[in-house]
Structure 1
Amino acid sequence: MKILVTGGLGFIGSHTVVELVNAGYDPVIIDDLSNSNVRILDQIAKIIGYKPAFHEFDLCDAKAVKDFAANNPDISGIIHFAASKAVGESVQLPLKYYRNNFYSLINILQAYEGSPLNFVFSSSCTVYGQPDVLPVTEDAPVKPAESPYGNTKQIAEEILRDVVAAGSAYKVIALRYFNPVGAHDSAMIGELPIGVPQNLVPFITQTAIGKREKLTVFGDKYDTPDGSCIRDYIHVVDLARAHVAALKLMEQSGFNGYDVFNIGTGKGYTVLEVISAFEQSTGKKLNYQIGPPRSGDIEKVWGDVSKSTQKLHWKAERDIDTMMSSAWAWENYITQNPL
């Protein structure tokens, strides 16, 4: 079965391509390389033994998407990652986020409209805003977004729900992930930020190896055990496997329509706890400082993942120490073998 993976050379996308192959699927990648590196395709090939089909273009280009669909009518599923994804940047550049994240989704939906496809959407726990109750369940109210990025995920879910309600041939699962970190066991693929990292763990590893002078912890006065923000961190390989589980669920005759699932570990860690876990698992001391809170950040969030366990038959397996040690192995690999 051919599965289209948009943004398939990105952090989560590349790991999902590997897990799709491991599960017997045939992935086809689209990526515009705006936030990824074409050499990741070679890294994937080293892991799986061959180079998967790759098409470079911008999904915001409606004609290019239509042409691709016309030439690839045998796609049976779509995993849609392609989007701009940095919370902080979205506050500064909202129009970039609304353009990239909506046009790409609508174009791919229209291109395959009428085809009975299984569609997995890359959503986010940011749709919950700051939850009233923790751990947050899929039934929690979707609050006003704290950032344009979060708003694009909320509205994209509404678009997909409306498309299904209108009688579309699509089956859709939105996976609301928490914070993906870590790297593949081979250390050949991992998070590869362009420029200054927007996420915590690559900033940690780049600081530890000397690429960054110091790490800034954004705020230490939050209502948390040590004052820093709490997040539910999940290993990227566990996350990738959740996409395979979503496809398999939609392939069953009993699944119809639209559903959402939390994808996390069900446990929250503060930023300072993550720093400590990195130091303990790698033996590297970090140079960090406390800075002011960052606009758009949520104080604390972690997920109730019981629905994913019961219905997706999926559960995170890797702990915080494995997340940190694998991220560090990847940082060392990429430093010694620049792409």
Structure 2
Amino acid sequence: MIRRQLAIAAAVVALALLGLFVGAASISPSDVWSALFARLGIGEAERLADAVVWDIRMPRVIGGILVGGALGASGAALQGLLRNSIAEPYLLGLSSAAGFGLVVGAWLTPSGSLPVLAALLACLMAGATAVLIRRLAAGAVDANSLVLSGIAVGFALLAWTLLLIFSVDSPRLPTFTYFVFGGLGATTWKIVAVAAPLAVVGQGLLVSRSRQLDLVALGDVQAATLGVDVAVLTRVVLAAVGLTVGAAVSIAGVVGFVGLLAPLLGRRIVGPMHRGLIWASVSLGAVIVLAADVTIRALAGNVEIPLGVITAAVGGPVLVAILLRRRKL
């Protein structure tokens, strides 16, 4: 298992490095290396190369790692808590809720305080929506009804988000149309600095509950007899998911299916135990987001294709395959 985890981590590092070399700006590989080493005090770098690598591409790469890791961990935890392999932040409406909070933050605040308040509102909306959806689904007696409730709430919040974007007289809101479909093109160091602590704290909380999530897989009654307070576990997991999803959306907007794909691959690589699965989902989520972003930049050139388009193109068929397999069973 350790070798597999190291292989996944190596893939993250490789894609992160590749992300520093790919982009619309015409910079040679040697200039990119010079910009990287110059920050370590080795040699000098051209001003353009230094600005592109460290002010544009590096925050984009770090943001991609944070987004993928946050969504991957959230998906693994939600699937374990609900015992449903298609439960993930996008399908449960949590990403759309966080996106609505992000746009509201842009509307209510001056630009100087936007990243902080928008990120916090995104986390709050995601967490509150998670609680709402769980109540709508009658306490997860039927996990499929919870997913359907999430999809309905997600579409409703998406509609309200678009209505706010196109109806409010604010010079900044139209730029948030891009965030509805997800993307890393607007990532800055300021946004990363605000979102990173939220994502790390949320992931830490999820990992700390991994043993209890393993027991919940046996059923709520069995988990309770083994000492798990399922109600407390649910509150902690939903709060942590609110932090991670809010952090991800504040960086890249609404990106779907990463929380579905990463745990699905993780179970095949490291198995179902949540301590290893959550960490693997963090790394695999980063791999998925970085690979999609690098592909977009390599193929589209100066055109910024939304990241969510690529993840949906892959995740949609996977979701259909899972549903068809369930129907056969």
Higher helix proportion (structure 1 or 2): 2
Higher strand proportion (structure 1 or 2): 1
**Higher relative contact order at CA 8 Å, sep ≥6: structure 1 or structure 2?**
2
